[in-house]
Amino acid sequence: MGVNRGRQSFQHPGPTNIPERVLRAMDRAQIDYTSVEFQNTLSECQEKLGHVFKTEHAVITYAASGHGAWEAALANVTSPGDLILVVQSGFFSEKWSGFAEGLGLKTETLETDWRTAADPAQLEERLRRDTDHTIKAVMLVHNETSTGVVNDCAEIRAAMDRAGHPALYLIDAISSLACFDVNMDEWRADVVVAGSQKGLMMPVGLSFTGVSAKAIEASQNATTPRSYWDWRRLLTGMRQTSFHGTQPVTLIFGLHEALMMIEEEGLDQIFKRHNILAEATRRAATIWSENDGPQIVATNIKSRSDTVTALLMPDGYDADEVRRIALEHFNVCLAPGLAGLKGRIFRIGHMGDLNASMMLGALASCEAALEIVGVPYGKGGINAAMTYLVSAAGAEASLGSIDESVSPIRKSA
Ligand code: PLP
């Protein structure tokens, strides 16, 4: 199609589109990070982050990607040789588990098939057997970005409570925070990690860690070596009062603007918007799955993610070819399958600064790419998505009715 003009439709599940307002807020000269202006901006960010995490506890900010917050979470609450129970969900739970092993921790995995959410009863049963409380922490990825499967954090908490187990509860909310509900205090989570480049609509570079009083207490005696990540050096009581190194001034100004946008839209409305765009995607994908077409990876409807939908290709068809065509012909950037899923799945991100027309354009391009590549699929997905969006907008009534009082624009002969 030659040169692709206009904006690229960027449909990754992080990084996500950065709103103009956030870009403009970062487009400014550096200021002294010890200045009152900057420190006030940082404090406001800390307060607003607490609202987004739904916590009264401290939320620590690091100049790092989500991987940094992962390592920080593990290093601060464990000692070498501690056993961590990893609720398996996909690529990201496996990687986090690898980080734990890298720090000298032992891990045990609660298996899943990567297509369904973790089973709370299975977790409860394992914790009940751990009568001497060897398991130090339960590690869970809330939204497994590699598969589009969501784990139920409240149910996992309830299973831990039923087992009466004192393990710390560590949650990766990197691709769910500010997109669908993350409720750190209600779940009595001890550590919740997040990153800037997802629901917070920022560039990559900041990561965040909500830490409960119990986690801070555990960090006092934990012996896993750490310096940059050490909460003890960053917190005064329940509040972050220092940073290691130069503070990320530009990113904090962007974050402040993004948090203001989140406050203006309201978390409930943000969750609703994500749910509607995700449901439109699922409606299209369900139709595409007919005629032996690509299948939604998450098999259980209840566990389908509101931020990313992963589609498993029929045998013999390359997901990366669909992505290549979508990019070259329609300037739509879809996300690849990770590690062992490369070529087998592609992922449609529907998170962050996104609206219905962007979503419809991306879905239509996706369907067109399936057609061009010659993948079998059921036709009519876009219509299903559009029909759903019409009903979600509550527009059915006005669309079908005619205002009799309006005179025709064509004069009769
Ligand atoms: N955890 C989840 C669920 C993710 O989606 C990602 C990144 O996509 C990460 C962890 C890693 O975060 P980062 O890339 O910011 O290091």
- The finding on whether 14 has its CB within 6 A of some atom of ligand 1 is yes
Mutate to test the pocket of ligand 1, among 87, 145, 198, 202 (most ligand atoms within 8 A of CB): 145
Q: Is 40 exposed, middle or buried (0-12, 13-18, 19+ CB in 10 A)?
A: exposed
| Per-residue model confidence (pLDDT) at position 402 | 52
pLDDT at 341 exceeding the cut of 60: yes
- The finding on whether 92 has its CB within 6 A of some atom of ligand 1 is yes
Q: Which band of pLDDT confidence, cut at 50, 70 and 90, is reported for residue 409?
A: confident
Residue bearing the CA closest to ligand 1, atom 5: 145
Kindly report, residue by residue over 50-59, the tens digit of the pLDDT.
Answer: 999 999 999 9
| Per-residue model confidence (pLDDT) at position 315 | 97
Atom of ligand 1 nearest to the CA of 70: 10
3-state secondary structure of 247: coil
Q: Which residues contact 300 (CB under 8 A, 6 or more apart)?
A: 116, 117
Q: How does the average pLDDT of the chain come out, rounded?
A: 95
Atom of ligand 1 nearest to the CA of 144: 3
Residue bearing the CA closest to ligand 1, atom 2: 174
Mutate to test the pocket of ligand 1, among 65, 71, 91, 92 (most ligand atoms within 8 A of CB): 92
Mean pLDDT along residues 287-314: 98
- The finding on whether 195 has its CB within 6 A of some atom of ligand 1 is yes
Full DSSP string of 209-223: EEE-HHHHHHHHH--
Question: Which pTM does this prediction carry?
Answer: 0.95
| Per-residue model confidence (pLDDT) at position 126 | 98
| Per-residue model confidence (pLDDT) at position 5 | 81
pLDDT at 252 exceeding the cut of 90: yes
Distance 145 CA to ligand 1 centre (A): 8
- Lowest-confidence region among 21-25, 47-51, 328-332, 395-399: 395-399
pLDDT at 403 exceeding the cut of 60: no
Cα–Cα–Cα angle for 223, 134, 129, nearest 5°?
165
| Per-residue model confidence (pLDDT) at position 399 | 40
| Per-residue model confidence (pLDDT) at position 6 | 87
| Per-residue model confidence (pLDDT) at position 118 | 97
Distance 92 CA to ligand 1 centre (A): 7
Distance 408 CA to ligand 1 centre (A): 57
Residue bearing the CA closest to ligand 1, atom 8: 14
Distance 67 CA to ligand 1 centre (A): 7
Distance 401 CA to ligand 1 centre (A): 47
| Per-residue model confidence (pLDDT) at position 397 | 43
| Per-residue model confidence (pLDDT) at position 410 | 73
**Closest-CA residue to 192 (of 201, 182, 205):** 182
Cα 341 from chain centroid (whole Å): 19
| Per-residue model confidence (pLDDT) at position 352 | 97
Q: Which residues contact 47 (CB under 8 A, 6 or more apart)?
A: none
Q: Which band of pLDDT confidence, cut at 50, 70 and 90, is reported for residue 245?
A: very high
H or E segment to which residue 391 belongs: helix 381-392
Exposure b/e, 258-287, CB count within 10 A at least 16 = b: bbbbbeeeebeebbebbebbbbbbbbbbbb
Mean pLDDT along residues 77-97: 97
| Per-residue model confidence (pLDDT) at position 82 | 98
Q: Percent of the chain scored above 70 by pLDDT?
A: 95
Distance 96 CA to ligand 1 centre (A): 10
- The finding on whether 175 has its CB within 6 A of some atom of ligand 1 is yes
| Per-residue model confidence (pLDDT) at position 219 | 97
Q: Is 37 exposed, middle or buried (0-12, 13-18, 19+ CB in 10 A)?
A: exposed
Kindly report the three-state secondary structure assignment for every residue of 251-304: HHHHHHHHHHHHHHHCHHHHHHHHHHHHHHHHHHHHHHCCCCCCEECCCCHHHE
What span, in angstroms and rounded, lies between the C-alpha atoms of 284 and 366? 10
Q: Is 14 exposed, middle or buried (0-12, 13-18, 19+ CB in 10 A)?
A: buried
| Per-residue model confidence (pLDDT) at position 407 | 67
Q: Which residue has the higher pLDDT, 192 or 237?
A: 192
Q: Which residue has the tokens 């995490």?
A: 53
Distance 77 CA to ligand 1 centre (A): 20
3-state secondary structure of 327: helix
pLDDT at 191 exceeding the cut of 70: yes
**Closest-CA residue to 157 (of 206, 107, 100, 118):** 118
Distance 410 CA to ligand 1 centre (A): 58
Atom of ligand 1 nearest to the CA of 67: 16
